[in-house]
C-alpha cells in the first residue's frame, strides 16, 4: 500500500513566512494497484529498471511514496504544477537516501503512472488536455504497447 500519510504541507509566501495547509493524505491503494503502478512506471520510463535494480527496496518505496505524494498534493487544490513542484521538492529533500534519478522524464513518469494506477479519480483535477494525454497513455499501457509508440 502507498505511504499512509505524507505529513503536513507548508506553502512559502512572498514575505518569506510559511502558511500551513491541510495535512496530506496519501491515496489508499491495494497491492494490486501498487503492482500496476510499478508496471506502468517500468513501461513509461524503462531507465527506472536500473534504478530499482541498484537500490531495490529503497527505490520501490521512494517511487511509491513520490507517486502517492503527487496524488496527495494534487488533491490539496494547488493545481498540477503545484503538485509537481511539491513532489520534486520532497523527493529532492531525501535524494541522498533514495538516489532517485532527478530527471523530468522520471518525474513525469511517476506523476502519470500515479494518476493512472494510484489516484485515477484525481485526473479530474488536471487540465482537459492533460487528461486526454493521460487517457491516451493509459490506453497504450492497457494494450501492452510502449507509450513511446503512441
Instruction: Summarize pLDDT for 76-131 with one digit per residue, the tens.
Output: 988 999 999 999 999 999 999 999 998 999 999 999 999 999 999 999 999 999 99
Residues written for the chain: 150
Domain count across the chain: 1
Instruction: Tell me the three cell numbers of residue 133.
Output: 494525454
Residue pair 85/66 in contact by the 8 Å Cβ criterion: no
Residue numbers of the domain that contains 64: 31-144
In a domain, 115, yes or no: yes
In a domain, 124, yes or no: yes
The least confident of 14-28, 37-51, 61-75, 81-95 is 14-28
pTM, two decimal places: 0.81
Residue 49: per-residue pLDDT: 93
Burial class (CB in 10 A: 0-12, 13-18, 19+), 60: middle
Amino acid at each position: 500500500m502507498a505511504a499512509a500519510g505524507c505529513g503536513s504541507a507548508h506553502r512559502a509566501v512572498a514575505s518569506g513566512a510559511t502558511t500551513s495547509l491541510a495535512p496530506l493524505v496519501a491515496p489508499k491503494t491495494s497491492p494490486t494497484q501498487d503492482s500496476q503502478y510499478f508496471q506502468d512506471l517500468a513501461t513509461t520510463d524503462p531507465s527506472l529498471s536500473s534504478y530499482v535494480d541498484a537500490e531495490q527496496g529503497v527505490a520501490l518505496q521512494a517511487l511509491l511514496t513520490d507517486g502517492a505524494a503527487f496524488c496527495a498534493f494534487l488533491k490539496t487544490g494547488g493545481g498540477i504544477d503545484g503538485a509537481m513542484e511539491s513532489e520534486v521538492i520532497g523527493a529532492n529533500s531525501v535524494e541522498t537516501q533514495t538516489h532517485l534519478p532527478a530527471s523530468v522524464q522520471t518525474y513525469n513518469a511517476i506523476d502519470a503512472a500515479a494518476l493512472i494506477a494510484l489516484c485515477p479519480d484525481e485526473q479530474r483535477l488536471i487540465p482537459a488536455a492533460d487528461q486526454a494525454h493521460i487517457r491516451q497513455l493509459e490506453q497504450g499501457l492497457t494494450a501492452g504497447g510502449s507509450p513511446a509508440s503512441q
